[in-house]
Amino acid sequence: MRMIDIIEKKRDGQELTKEEIYFVIEGYTNGDIPDYQMSAFAMAIYFQDMTSSERVNLTMAMVESGDQIDLSDIKGIKVDKHSTGGVGDTTTLILAPLVASVSVPVAKMSGRGLGHTGGTVDKLEAIEGFQVEIDGKTFNELVNKNKLAVVGQSGNLTPADKKLYGLRDVTATVDAIPLIASSIMSKKIASGADAIVLDVKTGSGAFMKDIEGAKELAHAMVQIGNGAGRNTIAVISDMSEPLGFAIGNALEIKEAIDTLKGQGPKDLEELCLTLGSQMVYLGGKAETIEDAREKLIEVMKSGKAIETFKTFVAAQGGDDSVIDHPEKLPTASYTFEVEAKQDGFVSEIIANEIGIAASVLGAGRATKESEIDLAVGLVLNKKVGEQVKKGESLVTIHSNREDVTDVVEKIYHAYGISEQTVDANPLVYDIIY
Ligand code: URA
Ligand code: CA
């Protein structure tokens, strides 16, 4: 087989065989196929698209390019959740203990991330003593015992994706649905999931800015997941304004604790119930989605969900007293209120701008090497649709520096205030099976 013939075949819009796709991915991973040929190949896919079976083969070739996590020692159906990323998205921290409370095993591998705040692993490290580096055997044992454990990413997962993503980034081939969908799904499948619930976000704070694009990506990923033998469902959710109130690492831990107790922001709670009921259903612990939802509401009300979180934190070496005493979490030295300049209704909160404001405070990483400040961040006091009076606080800034002029400016830029009443966007647009 020759790479040039495969590029030509794709360029001319023909369907590639499984053998051809594996030849490309294996050759690119081990260095036999150079970047320039792979660039041409990615561009051919960009213009010619891929059929369903090509997408599944591309995904599985990338899965098999590196290590695959073996979760077979864990009893039950392992359901993983993946979000395409947003601002203040605290859902993992809530969903994991929530669905574990109804006996769905959650074996979560999480990253640190380069977003506006840290990833799930960074957030958990806001809890004194919490250990994310645990070996595979301990990890499996913890999931069997408590139904929940979180481990930091390690090993050599999907090296083909890593290499190809880097190349796509500099060759204008990131925005190709078959490439995005196979990239995301290869990582989920290599992490050992039996079933997958995807949260595909749309809006200013999301990777896919418009609903049509989000739906197309969701359909592509669901088709790949099901084609690869993993039951997959996608929820299309809104990310035009940030989710919940808190954006920041320790602040989001506190928000997760509140939500697990049934005292969190309503939008965040609702999205967690929507995603969670899909997870419980796929995990085989409920007959219907409605039944699953009722079970989740029950564990929130009874206190079982927060107990599961406590047990999980203690099992990984963390100080579980923070759950009853969230004031023990890292706290910033200063708080500042950003006050409304006029009466009216909040008409928009540009999620991406709020994310950047949190990031410049130090809540996120600019580069892989940067340190995050776990204490800092923002708490939104007004969300879209709410009435506001001049002088009322829109946002509370938690900062470790005294001058936050730049952050205040970004927040004013993100907030729109109108004289007329405004409806918030729907939280969930669609669910794709
Ligand atoms: N996120 C990924 O993991 N891969 C892509 O290709 C795009 C976004
Ligand atoms: Ca939040």
Q: Which helix (H) or strand (E) holds 312?
A: helix 304-315
Query: Which tokens sit at 45?
Result: 């896919």
Q: Which uninterrupted H or E stretch holds 165?
A: helix 159-169
CATH number at residue 404: 3.90.1170.30
Q: Which of 186, 189, 185 is nearest to 200 (CA)?
A: 185
- Catalytic annotation on 53? no
Domain end among 325, 353, 369 = 325
Provide the CB-side half-sphere exposure for 294 (13 A, CA): 6
Same domain, 31 and 89: no
Q: Annotated catalytic, 103? A: no
**290 and 335 inside one domain:** no
- The verdict on 383 and 405 lying in the same domain is yes
Query: Within the chain, which residues score under 70 in pLDDT?
Result: none
Q: Left, alpha or beta for 248 (phi > 0: left; psi -120 to 50: alpha)?
A: left
Q: What is the CATH number of the domain that holds 306?
A: 3.40.1030.10
Q: Is the CB of 183 under 6 A from ligand 1?
A: yes
**What 3-state class would DSSP assign to 122?**
helix
Among residues 300, 325, 350, the one where a domain terminates is 325
Q: Do 314 and 350 share a domain, yes or no?
A: no
What is the rounded radius of gyration, in angstroms, for the C-alpha atoms of the chain? 22
Domain with 30 in it: 3-48
For residue 85, what pLDDT is reported?
86
State pLDDT tens for residues 4-40: 999 999 999 999 999 999 999 999 999 999 999 999 9
Are 300 and 339 part of one and the same domain? no
* Domain contains 274: yes
- Calculate ∠ Cα 266-262-198, nearest 5°: 60
Ligand 1, residue 184: give the atom nearest the CA. 3
Domains of the chain: total: 3
Q: Are 337 and 319 in a shared domain?
A: no
Query: 83 with 137, same domain?
Result: yes
Co-location of 227 and 321 in the same domain: yes
Q: What is the ipTM, given to two decimal places? A: 0.91
Give the per-residue pLDDT at 342.
97
Q: State residue 367's pLDDT score.
A: 80
Q: Determine whether 413 is an active site residue.
A: no
Q: 289-302 vs 304-315: helix axis angle to the nearest 10? A: 70
- What is the pLDDT, as a whole number, of residue 289? 97
Do 290 and 400 lie in a common domain? Answer: no
Looking at ligand 1, which residue's alpha carbon is closest to its atom 3? 184
Measure the CA–CA gap between 159 and 141, rounded to whole angstroms.
Answer: 28
The values of phi and psi at residue 252, to 5°, are -75, -30
Q: What is the pLDDT of residues 242-259, one digit of tens each?
A: 999 999 999 999 999 999
- pLDDT tens-place string over residues 192-201: 999 999 999 9
Q: Is the minimum distance from the CB of 429 to ligand 1 under 6 angstroms?
A: no
- Are 160 and 277 found together in one domain? yes
Q: Beta-carbon neighbour count of residue 387 at 10 Å?
A: 12
Residues 6+ away with beta carbon under 8 Å from 103: 76, 147, 285
- State residue 322's pLDDT score: 97
